[in-house]
Structure 1
Amino acid sequence: ELIDLVEKDGRVCGAALHDVRSGTARLMAAGAVVLATGGFGGLFSRTLTMPDVMGTSAAVALRHGARLVNVEFIQIMPGLVEPVGGVVFNERTFRYARVEGVDGPEAGALLDERGGHGPFSSSLPDRAVDLAVSAAGPRGAAVTYDLPERLPEFMQTYFDWFEGAFGRSPAEGVRIAPYAHASNGGILVDELGSTGVPGLFACGEATGGMHGADRIGGLSSANALVFGHAAGRAAADCAASVAAPNGATGRPPHASPDLGDLRRAMDRFCLIGRTDEGLRQMGRILDELDEKNAQAGSVHAANAILSARALVTAMLARTESRGAHFRADFPQEDPAQARPLVVSLDEGGRPVAATPSA
């Protein structure tokens, strides 16, 4: 697991890693480093990503002078909370569903439209479906079905898999809630994957800028392949021999902290329905966690807290709703804010968000 980067003479020349098996930290020398550790989904308790995907590379890159972009745009998708949690909900089944809180004469049309894409988008009318699901809270919104005699193949495959895996059909009814999924934002890079920090490159979901505010249908794998290839070639061209230590350096303190409080708070304040009050409350929670971790000394917790703070900073700064970002207190798009927000660290080491100059 990534802990930090190694710098010498203003150039990244290696990485500090935590060996999970041995519990030791190691310094690995490198002529250049490519960060490809994924997005921010693991900062949330309800997530459809692996829990260790916590924006570590974003925090580490920030500390070494890189910048982030579009980090407020976290893809949010419906997932199951009953009969089992942490399983993706097949959005195509919305077309045959009745969803708690989605009522009125337009309910059928909204659910049919919502069945056309997986991630939530505040820019589409069918956001009403996700807002109703979010309003149900952690218990989830009840979903029941009026199914045709013959299901489309993709849905039938999902229903068959579900019944085989969990011993019952979703046709018997499920509950769903919003889950964090992929990240549209991340480390700001150029077309070659360079972060602007000498010797440091990034690619894949660790980076931002390729998708803008919304990505409701694919291209994540294409992004990873194209920019992974570009970053790898550029890093290889950049690489040069460096004098960096390489070997065991002891056990990092509290390498696997309990981050449950952080994740649950991120669920509450940073999924759908963000508000100024809620985001500022999240900031205070991060302050408290920072104070506790100052005594515990966990580098993993410090990275998670900084990543979460970067997200909250951007979410607060974007006082509108656009794409994957929905502010309940600013529910409409503002044409004046149709530009990216770039996050960097101020002199005190805290994230600040600003619009880059033209």
Structure 2
Amino acid sequence: MDNKELAMTCDVLVVGAGIAGIMAAIEAAREKQKVVLMSSSHIFSGSSFYPGTWGLGLIAPEDEEDEEDLIRTIRTIGCGMADEAMVRSFVKEMRPTIAYLQEIGLQLKDAKEKNQKEFIPCFDHKTRSWHGVVADKARERFKELLQELEITLLPYCELVDVIEEDHRIVGALVCERNQELRFIETKAVILATGGYGGLFEKKLTTSDITGTGQFIALEHGCTLVNMEFMQMMPALVNKEGKASEVPIIFNEKTFRYATLQQDSETDQTVMDCDKKMLEQRATYGPFTSRMPSREIDFLIASHDKEGLQVSYNKELLEDMPEFIRTYFDWLKKKRNLTPDSEIRISMFAHAANGGIKINEVGATDLLGLFACGEVTGGMHGADRIGGLSTANGFVFGKRAGKAAAEYAKECLKHTGIRNKDREKELSLWEIPNREQIKSDMQRSMMEASMVIRSERSLHQALETIMTWKENMIVKSTTDVKAYVESRKLWAQLQLATGILQAERLRKESRGSHYRAEYPNIDSQYARRIEIKLQDNCVITEFEEK
């Protein structure tokens, strides 16, 4: 590479432009820091703005008394895997954060009939203070704030690595529009890069959700926690079991009015799912092993190739609840589908309940490195209440932004990237057959790490990935895009290794984690699993008590 000047200097670099990243950037800029907001896709991206869902909601406790109930419920639903201090801190900040959002002019939609059972959050036992985020209005207001606060935007800019000196962030290496590598000198970096749906072949995420943020943190001495707890959700598919370009999330509330059917060679046979089981399944979206209605998800998973057909009874058409009516109005507009249409569903990887281990303000184990949103773990457990993912982005995005700004202020001046000739030392390399390896990895994760997991499938997937890693051919290159894509693939292989190891280590079924050989919760595994990197080897072990 030719030696180039630093692309820019800033106080706080935010990586990821979903809700968490945007909130972090706004809050850091409000603290009078020079902020750069970059995204590997466009601004307003990631799961926060996923186009295959009909709405984005967040919940909060009704009052102080409800705060304590929500804290207890999160810990119960999380099956002991959520960090109590993180949960308490999270819940206590929800109501002030909603007031803050209204103060900065973000439009929130309240339920007209909030006492309807459809507004009980997923896995919860009661209604909460529910607020819908109007995506178009949110974009407009966020755009205004980003301009007012003079935040520099870098869309289609990929984070390649962070740079540390003396265990402290001093900069980042980025790739602009797949063409050019640049260094950014900064005092603090906030990772808001989302989950790791990109490890799976079928996923309810956008293409920028790759899991590389988690691995970059891992490379720099940080710890990952609860990575085996990945949410799996039903989504719409065609007769061949294929989703549209942007898969549409199935509205679980409609299970209450559904009949599940399978195709045979001669006729259609109604599946034996009683009304009580469908009623239970209608109360939550992602798969859980905690309830008898998990049999419905097993049924959906068994029809992965062609999708499981869903039909609706007349009761739904005669008296459609507000929450479901909103969904079908949106579905008609997006896909021209109605309750009378042929609807088939299959299981997809959705959202991560685990990620980078942070403290209450979003700080990691590396000075100057912060994280927020779905890239993090600790505030959620084995299952997660609906509306908490969005709340997480707002609450911890705001906190991480403020904490990073305060940290940057303490660094009165840039320590500087000592070796200004780093670009001369940077040797570019590539993995020639990376598309084949990526495809094999995604297929292996689908076969091993979806709804039903077994020792055999997990072992086979791990063997496939380890074989690729051990026999990988790497060659030098001058192609920047090839280098960035190859480094991303290596990150994904390492991350997949850690996840599969964690899934094997947890020999029980707890929340979103189901092991066929171990269908029940086992008290001896009532500890979180941590993933670390030592000498470039992925280490997976139970957290010390």
TM-score by structure 2 length?
Answer: 0.61
Structure 2 residue aligned with 1:286, among 449, 460, 465?
A: 465
Q: Are the structure 2 counterparts of residues 36 and 252 from structure 1 closer, same or farther at C-alpha, using a change threshold of 3 Å?
A: farther
CA distance in 2, matches of 1:251, 1:223: 38
Displacement of 1:293: 4.8
Displacement of 1:237: 2.3
Secondary structure, counterpart of 1:6 in structure 2: strand
CA distance in 2, matches of 1:36, 1:165: 29
After TM superposition, the structure 1 stretch with the greater mean CA deviation from structure 2, 167-176 or 49-58, is 167-176
Displacement of 1:252: 5.8
Where does residue 91 of structure 1 map in the other structure?
252
Where does residue 56 of structure 1 map in the other structure?
212
The C-alpha deviation readout for 1:184-214, integer Å capped at 9, x for no partner, is 1000111121111222111111100101111
Q: Note if 1:225 corresponds to 2:430.
A: no
Secondary structure, counterpart of 1:242 in structure 2: coil
Where does residue 497 of structure 2 map in the other structure?
309
Q: Note if 1:78 corresponds to 2:245.
A: no
CA RMSD between the two structures: 2.4
Q: Are the structure 2 counterparts of residues 25 and 169 from structure 1 closer, same or farther at C-alpha, using a change threshold of 3 Å?
A: same
Displacement of 1:253: 5.3
TM-score by structure 1 length?
Answer: 0.91
Contact 2:431–2:474 under 8 Å retained in 1? no
Structure 2 residue aligned with 1:336, among 510, 524, 534?
A: 524
Amino acid aligned to 2:537? R
Q: Are the structure 2 counterparts of residues 216 and 229 from structure 1 closer, same or farther at C-alpha, using a change threshold of 3 Å?
A: closer
The C-alpha deviation readout for 1:146-202, integer Å capped at 9, x for no partner, is 232322233233223323332343533222111111111000111121111222111
Q: Note if 1:243 corresponds to 2:436.
A: no
Amino acid aligned to 1:353? T
Q: Note if 1:133 corresponds to 2:300.
A: yes
Matches within 5 A, 1:272-283: 272-283=451-462
CA distance in 2, matches of 1:327, 1:170: 34
CA distance in 1, matches of 2:421, 2:334: 45
CA distance in 2, matches of 1:216, 1:130: 18
Structure 1 residue aligned with 2:285, among 115, 118, 135?
A: 118
CA distance in 2, matches of 1:181, 1:168: 22
Q: Are the structure 2 counterparts of residues 327 and 246 from structure 1 closer, same or farther at C-alpha, using a change threshold of 3 Å?
A: farther
Structure 2 residue aligned with 1:295, among 451, 465, 474?
A: 474
Contact 2:430–2:474 under 8 Å retained in 1? no
Rg comparison, structure with higher value: 2
Matches within 5 A, 1:197-276: 197-239=366-408, 240=411, 241-244=414-417, 258=435, 259-276=438-455
Secondary structure, counterpart of 1:58 in structure 2: helix
Where does residue 157 of structure 1 map in the other structure?
326
CA distance in 2, matches of 1:282, 1:88: 27
CA distance in 2, matches of 1:289, 1:139: 30
Contact 1:91–1:118 under 8 Å retained in 2? yes
Contact 1:26–1:246 under 8 Å retained in 2? no
Q: Are the structure 2 counterparts of residues 263 and 47 from structure 1 closer, same or farther at C-alpha, using a change threshold of 3 Å?
A: same
Secondary structure, counterpart of 1:138 in structure 2: coil
Q: Are the structure 2 counterparts of residues 76 and 216 from structure 1 closer, same or farther at C-alpha, using a change threshold of 3 Å?
A: farther
Displacement of 1:91: 0.8
Aligned length: 355
Displacement of 1:291: 4.5
Q: Are the structure 2 counterparts of residues 177 and 131 from structure 1 closer, same or farther at C-alpha, using a change threshold of 3 Å?
A: same
CA distance in 2, matches of 1:309, 1:78: 25
CA distance in 2, matches of 1:295, 1:248: 20
Where does residue 172 of structure 2 map in the other structure?
15
Contact 2:304–2:347 under 8 Å retained in 1? no
CA distance in 2, matches of 1:251, 1:354: 33
After TM superposition, the structure 1 stretch with the greater mean CA deviation from structure 2, 83-92 or 114-123, is 83-92
Secondary structure, counterpart of 2:232 in structure 1: strand
Q: Which runs of 5+ in 1 are unaligned?
A: none
Q: Which runs of 5+ in 2 are unaligned?
A: 1-157, 263-269, 476-482
CA distance in 1, matches of 2:495, 2:216: 9
Where does residue 103 of structure 2 map in the other structure?
none
CA distance in 2, matches of 1:294, 1:300: 15
CA distance in 2, matches of 1:165, 1:272: 28
Where does residue 7 of structure 2 map in the other structure?
none
CA distance in 1, matches of 2:201, 2:514: 19
